[in-house]
Amino acid sequence: MRLIASTLLFVLACGGGDHQGADDAPTIDATDALDGSQPDSAPDAPGGLPLPGFGAISGMCGVLTPTELDGTTPLWFQGQLDFANDRYDDPAERSQLTPGGVEIIVDGNAGGSSLYSEVFAFEWLARCELATLLKTETEILYDVDGKKADLLVEIDGRKVGVSVTRAVKYPFGQPYSLDEATPLIERKLDDLQLATTQVAVADRWATQMLAILAFNAQHAQVAMQAWSMLDAQTRGSTILLVVVTEGDAMFIYTDQ
């Protein structure tokens, strides 16, 4: 297991403000940049992880333990979710999702066009970290009607409040910039921290997580650079998950 403090992430930053496009963006290899070793890949992940499901998972899998979940240092991990030439079609392919993924689809969310990003953020957590879904967005109870988490999950007996977003540039395929990534991530972190203070006792989570699904490796790299440049108060103790989507993944960004 190699889970790295997010303060070290800056070594992955794109230099000089010039960002590569979708076709020539480099593969993100965090641990190579730090110590020359490889991140845990799917075949070597503990306990036969990742579990089977829709889309091929690679990268850092099976990395969250009670030590990370109970820690106070902001941490990050990353990987890839490859749909190859098989985009997800609902409801025909629901049988390939976890029970929690199916429940997210059935329950829906509080609006917007982010349902499939929430589904596959959860699928990653369920297949890689053995997360179970406790409540969907509309089921979580709050003392104040305000900002909300997208999912309430359990990992290693800990409740985790998860906010999901997408790193994507419109029109599709254009390079992503810090000017676009930074306010998005800052807002999502601020909203999640507020939700953490307002969630009802019955649903109170011990750990909060921001899950970002990235359009390509360049988008993921810029998103992680933006994260690394935020101050400690903004990041708090949030765990960051960045998943680069590959293959026929456009449904994640269009919800169609």
Would you state the structure tokens that stand for residue 170, as one six-digit string? Answer: 């419109």
What is the sign, positive or negative, of the torsion defined by CA atoms of 238, 68, 127, 87? positive
pLDDT number for residue 179:
98
In whole angstroms, give the CA distance from residue 107 to residue 111: 11
pLDDT tens, per residue, the chain with 256 residues: 334 333 333 223 222 222 223 333 333 333 332 222 233 333 346 679 999 999 999 999 999 999 999 998 888 999 999 999 999 999 999 999 999 999 999 998 877 778 999 999 999 999 999 999 999 999 999 999 999 999 999 999 999 999 999 999 999 989 999 999 999 999 999 999 999 999 999 999 999 999 999 999 999 999 999 999 999 999 999 999 999 999 999 999 998 8
Any idea where the domains of the chain sit in the sequence? 34-254
pLDDT number for residue 46:
64
In the DSSP assignment, the letter for residue 16 is: G
3-state secondary structure of 208: strand
In the DSSP assignment, the letter for residue 39 is: P
Residues 6+ away with beta carbon under 8 Å from 154: 131, 132, 134, 160
Do residues 244 and 224 make contact, with C-beta atoms less than 8 angstroms apart?
A: no
In whole angstroms, give the CA distance from residue 98 to residue 203: 22
pLDDT number for residue 18:
29
Q: How far is CA 46 from the centre of its chain?
A: 20
- pTM (predicted TM-score): 0.84
Is residue 181 left, alpha or beta, with left meaning phi > 0 and alpha meaning psi from -120 to 50?
alpha
Residue 231: other Cβ atoms inside 10 A: 7
In the DSSP assignment, the letter for residue 138 is: T
- Beta strand 239-246 with 207-214 is parallel
